[in-house]
Amino acid sequence: MTFSFVKDALAQRRQDNLLRRRNLIRTIEDQQIEVGGRRFLNFSSNDYLGLNNHPQINRALEEGAKRFGASSSSSSLVTGYGYAHQKLEETICQWLNKERCLLFSSGFSANLGSLQTIKNNGVSLFLDKLSHASLIDGARLSSKKDDIKVNRFKHNNVAHLRTLLQASSNDKLVVTESIFSMDGDISPLKEIANAAQQAHAKVFIDDAHGIGVLGEQGQGAASFIDTDITMGTFGKAIATQGAFVACDDSLFEYLINFSREYIYSTAISPATAWATIQSIELIKNEPWRREKIKDLSQVFKNELDSSISLLPTDGSIHAIVIGDEEKTLTVSKQLAEAGFWLTAIRPPTVPKGTSRLRVTICENHNVKDIIRLAKEINKALV
């Protein structure tokens, strides 16, 4: 038995070349994976710094499980908040020079749990047009003040942001990403912070793809501006799982009292929290991982045909926009035949007509493989 909409919606997706399927992935080592009995080099992973499976992080995970258990067994406000969580929060506050920090079980819930709670108090939100789904949903989910509009400014367009800010007399929060998840470009953080300051607005940065990757010690957006609120995920460069929101003391107190995602959800695993502290230590002390991403990205750019342009970035994500959904799938299959795993990114993840290959260059790729990949992409697209 199933609802009729299920069949209809899936048939439509199939017809539009937008149907999604999961693949069973077995990681062999570094970025080598096995899918359906075949080996591929993975260029779709978010393990930007190559820290997944790092022996020191794995050891910390094991030690954390022995000392504190695999589960926190409760939400943070009941009995789920322990020493490992406290230490991780302190580590993040020192790293990013923030007063306070609270942990969520994912970046998605951190964005929902903070934006929804803030907007409920009559704060107008100003989101970049290309904001991640979790930011959009967080901004839309509001139980009380549905009359307060969510403003969207054109992608990275500070002049448009200024115009929208000027038109609002409410309390205001500007929301953007440090590195955009599907395009890889970096937002003009300083200009955005200036525009916000002049309009007496606060700034929220989703640092999902910048944390660990940008800045001398991998502090992400906090290396460039003094954000009011930073959201960072652990599941990408930090290579564990969960997320944090860092802010000042008063907002921290407010969120732990009013954020429904925080209050009514089990605290992250203490073993994971302990492993995350170890990962952050490596990130702070091993700048060569960030340098290697830049060097390999430069090789990739040099090797691509001049007709294929990449947006400038210091991050790992490089979007090659193809446009048509069917063609993007075909190119992705062609690359798979050559041994490269690159998931075709299609609507609704990206706007219609902008389907793309999202190439992530990670610390544990090597020059030879990057050159081979660029050659195959040239062959498929030029």
Ligand X SMILES: Cc1ncc(COP(=O)(O)O)c(C=O)c1O
Q: Which residues are part of the catalytic machinery?
A: 46, 132, 177, 181, 206, 209, 236
Q: With respect to ligand X, which residue has the nearer C-beta, 106 or 259?
A: 106
Residue 156 binding ligand X, by CB under 6 A = no
216: left (phi over 0), alpha (psi -120 to 50) or beta: alpha
d(CA 240, CA 65): 14
Residue 349 binding ligand X, by CB under 6 A = no
Residue 243 binding ligand X, by CB under 6 A = yes
d(CA 221, CA 314): 12
User: Amino acid identity, residue 45?
Assistant: S
d(CA 343, CA 355): 11
User: Amino acid identity, residue 305?
Assistant: D
Residue 134 binding ligand X, by CB under 6 A = yes
Q: With respect to ligand X, which residue has the nearer C-beta, 23 or 163?
A: 23
Residue 279 binding ligand X, by CB under 6 A = no
d(CA 94, CA 88): 10
Q: With respect to ligand X, which residue has the nearer C-beta, 164 or 317?
A: 317
Say if CB 49 and CB 31 are below 8 A apart: no
Stretch binding ligand X (CB under 6 A), from 5-13, 61-69, 106-114, 322-330: 106-114
d(CA 377, CA 380): 5
Stretch binding ligand X (CB under 6 A), from 100-108, 192-200, 249-257, 359-367: 100-108
Say if CB 186 and CB 178 are below 8 A apart: yes
d(CA 7, CA 3): 7
- Kindly list the distances between the CA atom of residue 117 and the CA atoms of 64, 136, 284, in Å, as whole numbers in the listed order: 32, 14, 32
Smallest distance, Å, CB 177 to ligand X?
Answer: 5
Smallest distance, Å, CB 299 to ligand X?
Answer: 25
Residue 108 binding ligand X, by CB under 6 A = yes
Smallest distance, Å, CB 92 to ligand X?
Answer: 15
Using CB under 6 A, pick the residue from 125, 189, 208, 322 that binds ligand X.
Answer: 208
Identify the helix (H) or strand (E) that includes residue 322. strand 317-323
Say if CB 167 and CB 199 are below 8 A apart: no
Smallest distance, Å, CB 80 to ligand X?
Answer: 18
Binding mask 43-72 for ligand X (x = CB under 6 A): ------------------------------
Stretch binding ligand X (CB under 6 A), from 101-109, 301-309, 310-318, 371-379: 101-109
Q: Would you tell me which residues interact with ligand X (CB under 6 A)? A: 106-108, 111, 132, 134, 177, 181, 206, 208, 233, 235, 243
